[in-house]
Structure 1
Amino acid sequence: MKICLITPKYPPNVQGGGEISVRLLAEQLASREDIKQVLVISFDGKRIEEINGVRVRRITNYSETPLEISNARVAKKLFEYKDLLRDYDVIHAYNVYFTPAIGVISELLSLPAVATLNSYVLLPRSASGFTPTGARRIYDELFMPTTGRVLRHLSGLVDKLICLSNASKNIYTEYGFEKDNIEVIPNMADPEFNVPQKPSDRQKVRVLYVGTLAEHKGVKYLISAASNLPHNFEIRIVGDGEERVELEKLASETGVETKVEFMGNIPYSDINAEYAKADVFVHPGIWPEPFGRTVIEAMEAGLPVVATNTGGPADIIDSQQLLCPPADALAIADAIKYAHKHQETIGAQNRNRIIEQYSSDYVCSRIINLYEEVSS
């Protein structure tokens, strides 16, 4: 079987977890005996190269917005490569931004197609619990019911859609997507994600957050939780974003600035060292995030994970004591203390859960089964 993955960006060009996930999928597919060939087509430059055994063809640069124009351009560009695409058994769009364009190409070329819905950009902002403002409010009011409906219809032309969590699938089906056309398959854990030995001489209990500093990530509730934690607990925040200044101000105003450390962005290759130095990981999001790659990274590192009971992370965490209502700092603090108390037991359980349900071999096999289904 020959598979063509289509994505906006491919490493080393990384914008977020999506690029890491598509790289893992491409490399796992390329290593399989039942996959004859893998090609990645990306829209982040113009060159042909091979990266870790994966052939990557970067064909042009891509602009994300507005979706109507960008998808028309993506479909037009892909159609220029119709002879190349016809040589593949399945095309797979790994990014929701390209799903309408892939629906068009699938119909025009009679190609079996799969698309991963890894965000909610095809839906109104209210679908993920936000109140749109400014230009986005105008777009949601004027275009989501009109051109947005067309984009969702074109997305429905794809043979099978993948959602990364049950929460994400529920949201998409609420907005008219066919339930039977959506398969829930999570992202895979990184098989090369090795965590160094944990330091043994630390006196502090380190609570770790890794991610963007944006309002919907709920980091302010983690900072607010600091005042309800014992004096020997510290919070380490890895990542950057528009909310950083306000979050630093919050830490100062609440008197926990000595317990909260802002690290800024660090290279992905250094993230594993941060997990090794941590005792508890927290994912305090206040929106139904489609998945949560940092959650499975922390679990792979053997950490107990505290998360809010919304979106994909609530699918991943199977202990109610570790799930909190969104925007509840006191509940987060209580869950952190519980996680630390049972750190070793929960950490071991998390490692086993990753092996059983999120290993690269297991997830890749499920995706290949889907390829076989749509191409039969």
Structure 2
Amino acid sequence: MHIAFIHPSFPSAEGTGATHSATQIVSGLSELDHDIDVYCASEPQQNRLSSDINLYHLDGESQHPHTNTKLNREVKARTNEFRKYDIVHSYLPSLIPSVANLGKNLDLSTVVTLNAYGGVCAKNDLLYLNEEHCEAKSNAKCLNCIARTGHQNNEQGYLYQTVSQLFSLRSINAGEDRLEYIDGFRAPSGHVRDNYTKFGFEEEKIHVIPHPLNDDFLVDHTSDFSEPINILYVGSLERHKGVDKLVPIIQGLRQREHDVELTVVGTGGLQSKMEEQSVNRNVEDYVDFAGFVSNEQLPSVYASHDVFIHPGIWEEPLARVYIEALATGTPIVTREYGSIETIIGDGGVTTDGSIDGFVQTIAELINANKLPALSEGGRSHVERYDRSQIVSQVEDLYGSVLT
């Protein structure tokens, strides 16, 4: 099978969970002897994968300042180049317009991974006014949301943010008119499928296939779950991740006389506010802002912590951090939403998402000595994310759209 795979960055790049998940799938398909060319949203630095994989940079045909608009134009400009493929698979839902154009004009099949909500939401998070889950779309509603949230949690300024999201909305509208030319969608979780279905995507086209595990995270857990309890957060420091709750959670636990410490791995617009929080709440000695940590170093970081916490306020599609925590045996405490309980299985517990809810849940786990059992449960549950199984499911998806 000759596959064109559109990567959100480039294979072996550091970056978002989508970057690492895409690389795992590319590697798995290559190992099964598929003929795969990777079209990269970022300039490839080096190819650490098989020498049989060709890397191409989506650049040189458009100078548009808006990234998604530029990438759509780059794909469209290469229409003739894509004629040789059996499958074009985009890991960026924002490229639905240009991938659908290929499906309409060429004799090939098209697949898009719905890695987040960029196919239906200009903010990519389905959080209306950054507060509530959005379940219906209109241009008026989207414009109101964009205009009223552009000043929040943004390092690039209101004008940049709002104009960028207006371009994204235009692209989303163009994609909605061409959905018939996308043959199949891959959703990483059941709630992603359900959310896209609410916005008019055909349910029967959406195949639920989780992200694959990177085997580098299958390491021995090294903490012994005794105090001090080391709590870990890994991710961007942005509002939709709920990171403004982290410091108050630590304060609440310490007020209950639990000896807890927090490590924050990641960077983002709320870091300075969080640092201020830690000082104002007198817990600065118990919070470590570790900044960026490479993917190579992350397994040992997870394994040395007693709890992984994820306080996000949006319906995270399937955060790789859950899979990584399961693999390293680090118990998960997260907000209840969508299909999260299926995602974490016996490797974690959910709360109502409030600060008090997190404090109460973590305190109960410590008091009842339940963390070791959750650690074991995570190591067992992570088998469902085995890369060979996930790549096989992707192959099945390809086969279904080719017939």
Which blocks of at least 5 consecutive residues in structure 1 are unaligned?
Answer: none
- Select which of 188, 195, 212 maps to 1:164: 188
**Cα distance between partner residues in 1 of 2:44 and 2:228:** 49
Aligned-partner Cα distance in 1 for 2:45–2:216: 27
Instruction: Name the residue aligned to 1:345.
Output: 373
8 A Cα contact 1:213 1:241, kept in partner = yes
The CA deviation at 1:310 is 2.6
The answer to whether the 8 A contact 1:67-1:97 is kept is no
> C-alpha displacement at 1:141, in angstroms?
7.9
Check conservation: 2:332, 2:349, Cα contact below 8 A. yes
Tell me which of 205, 220, 236 is aligned to 2:229: 205
1:107-122 equivalences under 5 Å are 107-122=104-119
Do the aligned partners of 1:101 and 1:154 also contact (CA within 8 Å) in 2?
no
Q: What is the aligned counterpart of 1:309 among 336, 340, 356?
A: 336
Kindly tell me: are residues 251 and 64 of structure 1, through their superposed partners in 2, closer, same or farther at Cα, counting changes over 3 Å? farther
Q: Secondary structure at the match of 1:172?
A: helix
Give the CA deviation at 1:338: 3.6
Matches within 5 A, 1:1-376: 1-32=1-32, 35-45=33-43, 49=47, 51-52=49-50, 55-61=53-59, 66=66, 69-83=69-83, 86=84, 88-124=85-121, 125=123, 127-129=126-128, 130=130, 131-132=145-146, 133-134=149-150, 144=169, 148-195=172-219, 198=222, 203-229=227-253, 230-311=257-338, 313-318=340-345, 322-326=349-353, 328-340=354-366, 341-355=369-383, 357-376=384-403
Aligned-partner Cα distance in 2 for 1:155–1:108: 14
CA contact (8 A) 2:210 2:385 kept: yes
Pick closer, same or farther for the CA change 1:317–1:12 going to 2, 3 Å. closer
Report the CA distance shift for 1:337/1:48 in structure 2 as closer, same or farther (over 3 A): closer
Alpha-carbon displacement from aligned partner over 1:274-321 (angstroms, at most 9, x marks no partner): 112101111110111111100110011011101111356454134698
Q: Which moved more, 1:147-156 or 1:166-175?
A: 147-156
Displacement of 1:138 in angstroms is 7.2
Give the Cα–Cα distance (whole angstroms) in 2 for the partners of residues 211 and 294 of structure 1: 8
Aligned length in residues: 368
Tell whether the 8 Å contact from 2:347 to 2:376 is kept in structure 1 after alignment: no
Provide the identity percentage: 24
Give the drift of 1:71. Answer: 4.8
3-state SS of paired residue (2:215): coil
Q: Structure 1 stretch 226-235 or stretch 52-61: which is displaced more? A: 52-61
Q: Residues 168 and 221 from structure 1, CA distance in 2 versus in 1: closer, same or farther, beyond 3 angstroms?
A: same
Tell me, which stretches of 5 or more residues in structure 2 are unaligned? 131-144, 151-158
1:22/1:94 contact within 8 Å kept = yes
SS in 2 for 1:81: helix
Alpha-carbon separation, structure 2, partners of 1:137 and 1:204: 44
Deviation at 1:46, TM superposition (A): 7.1
Distance in 2, matches of 1:38 and 1:157, equals 22
Report how far residue 122 of structure 1 moved.
2.8
Instruction: Spell out, residue by residue over 1:251-296, the C-alpha distance to the aligned partner (whole angstroms, 9 max, x if none).
Output: 1112222222111111111111111210111111011111110011
Structure 2 residue matching 1:317: 3-state secondary structure: helix
Name the CA shift for 1:82/1:238 in 2 (closer, same or farther; >3 Å): closer
Secondary structure of 1:235's counterpart equals strand
Counterpart of 2:290, as a letter, is M
Code of the residue aligned with 1:127 in structure 2: it is L
TM-score by length of structure 2 reads 0.82
TM-score, length of structure 1 as denominator length: 0.88
Tell me, yes or no, if the aligned pair for 2:22 and 2:91 is still in contact at 8 Å. Answer: yes
Tell me the amino acid that sits aligned with residue 54 of structure 2: V
CA contact (8 A) 1:207 1:280 kept: yes
Please provide the CA RMSD for this pair.
Answer: 2.8
CA distance in 1 between partners of 2:109 and 2:175 (Å): 19
Whether the 8 Å contact between 1:27 and 1:54 is mirrored in structure 2 is no
Deviates more, 1:217-226 or 1:194-203: 194-203
Distance 2:10 2:30 in 1: 15
Once superposed, which parts of structure 1, at least 4 consecutive aligned residues long, lie more than 6 Å away? 62-65, 138-143
Gap change, CA 1:64 and 1:18, over 3 Å in 2: farther
**CA gap 1:41/1:75 in 2 versus in 1, 3 angstroms:** closer
Alpha-carbon spacing, 1:266–1:312, altered in 2? closer, same or farther (3 Å): farther
On the 8 A contact 1:289/1:312 being kept in 2, the answer is: no
Out of 191-200 and 109-118, give the one that drifted further. 191-200
